[in-house]
Amino acid sequence: MTAFSIPDEPERGRMYREVVARLRAAMADHGVDALILLMNGHVSYATGASWPLLDGGLCHIERPVAVVLADDEHPHVFLPFREGAAAELQVPTDHRHRAVYLEFEDGVESFVRRAEALIRPGAVVAVDELTGAMRRSGSRLFADTSIDAAVVVGAAQLVKTPDEMACIRRACRITEEAVVDVQEALAPGVRQIDLSAQFVRRAFELGATSNMLDAIWQVMPSSRAAGVWTTHGDLALPLLTTDRALEQGDVLWTDASITYGGYCSDFGRTWIVGDEPTARQQDQYRLWQHILDAVLAVTRAGATSGDLARAAMAANGGRKPWLPHFYLGHGIGTYPAEAPMIGTDLGAEYDDSFVFPAGMALVLEPVVFEDGTGGYRSEEIVIITEDGYQPLTDYPYTPYGD
Amino acid sequence: MATETLPDDRALRVGRRERVLAQMAVRDLDLLVLGRQANVRYVSGTPQLWVAGTRPFGPICVLERATGEIHLNSTWDEGVPEEIGRERLYGLSWSPLTLTEVLKGFEASATACRVGTDSLSPTFAELLPQAFPNAQLVDGEPAMRAARRIKTDEEIVALRQAVGVAGTALVAAVGELAPGSREQSLVGALMEAMTAAGVSTPATQNGAWVTSREHPWRRARDDGRIQPGDLVAFAAGALADGYVGEVGRTAVAGDEPLGARGLFGRSKSLTERLFAACRPGAPAADLLDAYQRAGAALPPMPVAHGLGMGFDPPVVSAELPRSVADTTLEAGMVLAVTGYVWQEGIGAVFTRDAVHVTEGGPVLLTSSQGDK
């Protein structure tokens, strides 16, 4: 009765209007009159623009920048060529501007002149990043660091509109369809990087806008002691993909993410190379499924991150079924990992005070690991509803499962 | 690509770190707190997980000038050079407060007078003063840019490899161009070939697009379907061992339309002028003038930017008149030089080449592969 009606394909114009309304409501809640957004995921969220993302080292030369005003129903967007030519745009033409270069003093001066014409004197302005040239400029627009624009955007992002859910689900379906072929190709002698090559080809053919993550095909160690050294003594994850050839019986923990319409997918499964799971390995999967079921049983609007963490631990004999440097689960949207992060060093108080609203997207990724089995880890994405949850992902657990 | 994750070669690491430490001395920085991926790799020599797009600032790597010691945010030691050592690793954290406490605990933090960061978020602008109670927080990015700008010999080798992989990927994608194919499939072919050649981390992902016959730079059409006579631009960017290689070419789908040969000729004449402008001692503005002398309108993107780990100065764009006027090219810079000519009714010819500025003149790192 409370399930969301998620369209097969997102309606971009409606998504843009509803998201901007959410963002402006969050600005009102935080007492902010204007947002200056530099982070790719924030600009994408605020403007509905989606483009093929650059490497982190290149993406700040010329990058899309958004200015969102509390008293304007449309944000302004400053777009470089690469993104401007490729982006699907929603903002009206009189709100689109040519590129700005915030890494350079003259670039900042030019942006400040243009932004000051939009943002009234005395306005409360929040930014999400300060380049050195912005800090040095002394402009009133960047002077107030008491509110991080990321907090304002994060508040709006927490609840997804049905069209945003459709974007995430479409991203997941593209990923899963691409992964089907990769999994079929899995065999002794195949290199990790061969799996990546096949995955990116299919993902782009099927409509991915960007690859979000250097896909992970991590070969799990026979024991914690045999694994890579870590600061906490538990498992390392994720370890990078290399030319390494896979061997019969290798247990792989996989992780992949792409974007569609600006929204991310998240895929994770455990595979065995050229072999069926042993009885002990099946037990690992069953324990993982038992933990997931226990977590899902308490997942609903009004539950807290703490509730889910406790349910997971209870189902795992009192121990945390996640790695010390990670989480039991996390949100997802224009970033592959958004708030809430469940069970991290943000602490129990943070977890207990984080109450789930209906419409939140949540990735659950418990892990179990017993020496000699390679362990088990998979990821599932759900939407929080008033009385439970609604799954977005349904990829099979092969070769595990009953 | 190796079968295990290894630190960058010692000569590369040492050469880069020496440049950064020298810049810290020039600018009187006691500590550098780095959050940008490329800067972290430049200093630490450690391969890190690749995630596309911008990342929020976080203190991922701290370099101390007095000792040359590096602290690195990593939960494991795979790929971490021996000189950093396990004792100077601090694990992944989701709490800015935890990270601030970690920084505060470093021996040099209490006495540091000037601390540079390569970027900043409002959150860390508020928190970092607690970690460095006696320090002035300043912009550290100019020190990193000055260090990165001139390449060591080892870096030229690395850049050549990155450009080579990008070229291989581009050739594979051009090979699949035909009327009826789709932009997305060409991007898929490009990414697959780059990955199969050993680089699963793209520097750019806009791979292939049909250039518009009606507008100098807008999308030609929304369905991405390629029609006979389309001029299709290919852009390959590879991030190989941390270094960015970029190559751009344009090819015709099917039979060449009338006038295309002339446009390719203008493109060739423009790129020759652009390459000739890449001389030590030449003003960067010569690259903008090359367009005027070739009778071409300035393109809607920078005409050149430095290549290295991430982007390097200069960024040569008419939008940055003062930055460009202040810049003189120097031997040891490597530039990604962009050629772009458009003609109504035909489309655009886009090229991007990596040019090494040397005392002996411009040296093209891009092979001629993929040329029409």
Same domain? A319 vs A387: yes
Q: Give how many domains chain A has, as a whole number.
A: 2
Alpha helices per DSSP H over B197-284:
260-276
Q: Pick from B77, B184, B191: which is nearest to A211 by CB?
A: B191
Same domain? A114 vs A192: no
B345 in the Ramachandran plot: left (φ > 0), alpha (ψ -120 to 50) or beta? left
Which residue, B200, B233, B204, is CA-closest to B347?
B233
CATH for B150-364 is: 3.90.230.10
Asked if residue A288 is part of any domain, the answer here is yes
Give contacts of A197 with chain B, Cβ < 8 Å: 191-193, 195-196, 200
Same domain? A62 vs A167: no
Q: Pick from B92, B122, B192: which is nearest to A148 by CB?
A: B122
Same domain? A183 vs A95: no
Same domain? A349 vs A219: yes
Domain endpoint, select from A134, A157, A180 = A157
Residues 198-257, chain B: which have Cβ within 8 Å of A? Answer: 198, 200-207, 209, 217-219, 237, 239, 244
Residues 135-174, chain A: which have Cβ within 8 Å of B? Answer: 135-136, 144-150
Which chain B residue has the Cα nearest residue A194? B196
pTM passes above 0.90? yes
Q: With an 8 Å Cβ cutoff, are B239 and A61 in contact?
A: no
Give the tens place of pLDDT for each residue, B262-287. Answer: 999 999 999 999 999 999 999 999 99
Same domain? A115 vs A196: no
Asked if residue A240 is part of any domain, the answer here is yes
Give the count of beta carbons closer than 10 Å to the beta carbon of residue A207: 17
Angle (CA) B125-A331-A47 rounded to 5° is 70
Average pLDDT over residues B209-217: 92
CATH number, position A210: 3.90.230.10
Same domain? A284 vs A180: yes
Same domain? A214 vs A128: no
Map out the domains of chain B as residue ranges: 10-148, 150-364
Same domain? A50 vs A90: yes
Question: Does any CB of chain B come closer than 8 Å to the CB of residue A110?
Answer: yes
The ipTM value here is 0.96
Tell me whether domains B10-148 and B150-364 share a fold: no
Which residue, B273, B242, B243, is CA-closest to B338?
B273
pLDDT at residue B370, rounded to an integer: 44
Asked if residue A2 is part of any domain, the answer here is no
Question: Does any CB of chain A come closer than 8 Å to the CB of residue B142?
Answer: yes
> If chain A, 402 residues long, is cut into consecutive pieces of 10 residues, what is the mean pLDDT of each piece?
89 97 98 98 95 91 93 95 67 92 96 97 97 96 96 98 98 98 97 98 97 98 97 97 97 98 97 98 98 98 98 98 98 96 96 98 98 98 98 96 78
Query: CB within 8 A of A77, min separation 6: which ones?
Result: A43, A47, A49, A64, A65, A66, A67, A89, A91, A95, A96, A97
Q: With an 8 Å Cβ cutoff, are A57 and B300 in contact?
A: no
List the domain range (segments joined by +) for residue A57: 12-157
Interface test with B, best of A177, A192, A194, A200 (most B CBs within 10 A): A200
Question: Does any CB of chain A come closer than 8 Å to the CB of residue B370?
Answer: no
Asked if residue A398 is part of any domain, the answer here is no
| CB distance B129 to B152 below 8 Å | no
| CB distance B56 to A39 below 8 Å | yes
Cα A347 to Cα B72: distance, rounded to the nearest angstrom: 23
Give contacts of A96 with chain B, Cβ < 8 Å: none
Phi, psi of A319 (to 5 degrees): -100, 155
Same domain? A227 vs A108: no
Average pLDDT over residues B212-223: 86
Cα B252 to Cα A325: distance, rounded to the nearest angstrom: 50
Alpha helices per DSSP H over chain B:
10-26, 37-44, 96-105, 122-131, 141-149, 153-175, 183-196, 260-276, 285-293, 321-325
Which chain B residue has the Cα nearest residue A86? B219
CA distance B303 to chain A (A): 12
CATH for B10-148 is: 3.40.350.10
For the record, the structure tokens of B222 come out as: 């929304």
Same domain? A93 vs A31: yes
Q: Which residue matches tokens 């592969």?
A: B369
pLDDT at residue A85, rounded to an integer: 59
CATH number, position A81: 3.40.350.10
Asked if residue A43 is part of any domain, the answer here is yes
Domain endpoint, select from A142, A157, A172 = A157
Helix or strand holding residue A312 (H, E): helix A305-315
For the record, the structure tokens of B49 come out as: 């997980």
Question: In angstroms, how far is the first alpha carbon of chain B from the final one?
Answer: 30
Question: Does any CB of chain A come closer than 8 Å to the CB of residue B310?
Answer: yes
pLDDT at residue B371, rounded to an integer: 45
Domain endpoint, select from A121, A140, A157 = A157
Q: At what angle do helices B153-175 and B10-26 cross, to 10 degrees?
A: 120
Strand positions, DSSP E, A213-360: 216-219, 251-255, 258-260, 263-264, 270-272, 329-331, 338-342
Same domain? A110 vs A219: no
Q: Could you tell me whether strands A34-37 and A125-127 are parallel, antiparallel, or unpaired per DSSP bridges?
A: parallel
Asked if residue A29 is part of any domain, the answer here is yes
Beta partners for B340?
Answer: B350
Asked if residue A86 is part of any domain, the answer here is yes
Residues 104-123, chain B: which have Cβ within 8 Å of A? Answer: 118-123
Which chain A residue has the Cα nearest residue B181? A205
